Amino acid sequence: MCGIIGYIGEENAKSILINGLKKLEYRGYDSAGISVVNNKSLITLRKKGRISELEKCEDINDLEGNRGIAHTRWATHGAPNELNAHPHVDCSGKISVVHNGIIENHSALKKVLEQEGHKIKSDTDSEIIVHLIEKFYSGSLEDAMAKTVKCLTGAFGIAAIHSDEDNIVIAKKGSPLVIGISNKGMFVASDVAAILDYTKKVIYLNDNELAVIMKDHYVVSDINGEQVDKIVDEITWSVQEIEKGGFDHFMLKEIYDQPKALENCLRGRVKDGKIKLSIDFPPNDIERIVIVACGTSWHAALVGKYLLENITNIPVEVDYASEFRYRNPLVNERDVVIVISQSGETADSLAAIKEAKKKGAKTIGIVNVVGSTITREVDSGIYIHAGPEIGVASTKAFTCQIVALALLGLYLKQERGLSVDQKIIEALYELPEKSKKILESSKEIEMIAKEFVNSKNFLFLGRGINFPTALEGALKLKEISYIHAEGYPAAEMKHGPIALIDEEMPVFFVATDSENFKKIVGNMEEVKTRGGKIITLTDQKDDTVESLSEHVIYVPKTIEILSPILNTIPTQLFAYHVSNLMGLDVDKPRNLAKSVTVE
């Protein structure tokens, strides 16, 4: 959510900043801006729309200098227009600020600042930051930033420059910021993707830390000015991984990444029939598992409930992270709270896990992005190793999250002294090959998608562990094609949604092998009788299914508890093709951003 990049060094800052912004565009894309300092004078350019609009400006050629900051915005306060775009500049024209997060007390601060004579031009919560820095500035940007952040309530990742100084000053609370180190200069970014072209050496800032970055060194301190020693981490992702690699869209590439991603997620995690995870508390103490997450990760959590209860016999509850944190949840030290998050930065998920920790629960993170804030908050973690996910719609992270949940279930069982079903392990290791097979049906799914590009509504139905698959299929379709889609448990249809069925309502059934298979065929009959068009995803050769369905998509068989992993892939392809055939921006659907760091 919003992307920040800053550079100070020997090189031309503009090209580095624009390149970084392009890598960050998936975090927000309603407006963008850049400030560069040249000979002690600050030049700022802002534009509504994508980075390409900023690049088209004639004035961009005036941006010469070796120090600057830039921003791509996902609007929270104030419409997406040029006025509200970052960077924001103070009244003196010397200070420039970019901000990611939300300043909750901005109205009160604005009132005071205006009374003191500051001219606040935008409708954003962020602009007050630059005016506060201006107010406190008396020769040191660092001191002014320290005073400013003490006035702020809310979440922030801030980068600021002053035309008279030779540094970038940053501060963090609740929104991610990293410093990148290279022999050609220093970087700051909200996301390592922005700086991967230049360096793999990074320092993750913690909450309430502030840093002064100069062209060849940096100093990090806490909110009270005490210097903090930081560890330099090495990023393992490669530049190629954040490129499209010949695919038209990141989403398609990431769907096709799945065989490799699943393989990487499993790599080294089973040795001689034993599950190897680093969960550092005694599994025998666990009385209940609670899983918290948002969006697609929440759907993985729902699959996790079926999966973990089936494997471990431990009761599992699933909660939206945003609901969990605000309702005084009843958890204690005998509970394990698992948080699932691709980005590891989702504000609600982070707050939920903090709440669980406060109440004494043990915490586990299932996360993709190494070094992200959630990974540093939890007691133990399982990285899913899916590789960078740039497409706003989550794909490979979802399937890998379910693999991680299966491994965790097997591990808990094993550590409780119970024997682990080797058949599940075998089935897990067959998934990469089977997922490859599914990708071969992409063309066929595209042909099916063609028929549905004019649909206004869609229903996705599944039962048991594939009810969440239906929810995820519906979410994928609605978020990138803007076709209204609902996921429902197939058996619930007759308690309401069946009223919607007519010739205009296509229904996507997830109907792979289970003891409910015959029942779901019964649900298809109910839809067909009412004129609904049916697409069925199945691993069964069944005459009735074929006769009831307009289209049948076949997937390889796996054991039922792992079936959502394979079943989800055709639903991802279906959503992708519908959106692409409609000519929409698949990777950057309207109103969305990849990582939601505001509450």
Binding interface with ligand F6R (CB under 6 A): 294-297, 341-343, 346, 349, 393-394, 475, 479, 595-596
Q: Are strands 362-367 and 335-341 parallel, antiparallel or unpaired?
A: parallel
What span, in angstroms and rounded, lies between the C-alpha atoms of 51 and 24? 10
Burial of 231 (0-12, 13-18, 19+ CB in 10 A): exposed
Closest CA to 311 of 165, 423, 455, 438: 423
By beta-carbon proximity to ligand F6R, the closer residue of 100 and 523 is 100
By beta-carbon proximity to ligand F6R, the closer residue of 199 and 394 is 394
By beta-carbon proximity to ligand F6R, the closer residue of 6 and 344 is 344
Does the annotation mark 265 as catalytic? no
- Smallest distance from ligand F6R to CB 349, Å: 5
Closest CA to 508 of 459, 552, 466, 557: 459
By beta-carbon proximity to ligand F6R, the closer residue of 297 and 571 is 297
Does the annotation mark 151 as catalytic? no
Closest CA to 96 of 31, 145, 39, 28: 145
- Smallest distance from ligand F6R to CB 194, Å: 17
Q: Which of 2, 265, 294, 400 is catalytic?
A: 2
In terms of residues, how long is the chain? 599
By beta-carbon proximity to ligand F6R, the closer residue of 190 and 341 is 341
Q: Which of 23, 135, 396, 594 is catalytic?
A: 594
What span, in angstroms and rounded, lies between the C-alpha atoms of 96 and 43? 9
Name the residue whose CB lies closest to ligand F6R.
295
Closest CA to 321 of 355, 289, 287, 288: 355
What span, in angstroms and rounded, lies between the C-alpha atoms of 489 and 469? 10
By beta-carbon proximity to ligand F6R, the closer residue of 20 and 295 is 295
CB 155 within 8 A of CB 101: yes
CB atoms closer than 10 angstroms to residue 216: 14
- Smallest distance from ligand F6R to CB 539, Å: 25
- Smallest distance from ligand F6R to CB 34, Å: 27
* Beta strands, E only, 228-294: 233-234, 270-271, 274-275, 288-293
By beta-carbon proximity to ligand F6R, the closer residue of 35 and 595 is 595
- Smallest distance from ligand F6R to CB 475, Å: 6
- Specify the long-range contacts of residues 114-121, CB closer than 8 Å, at least 24 apart: 118/90, 118/91, 119/91, 121/83
- Smallest distance from ligand F6R to CB 592, Å: 8
Closest CA to 26 of 158, 191, 171, 163: 191
- Smallest distance from ligand F6R to CB 297, Å: 4
Bridge partners (DSSP) of residue 535 are 508, 551
Whose structure tokens read 């699943």? 262
As annotated, the active-site residues are: 2, 594
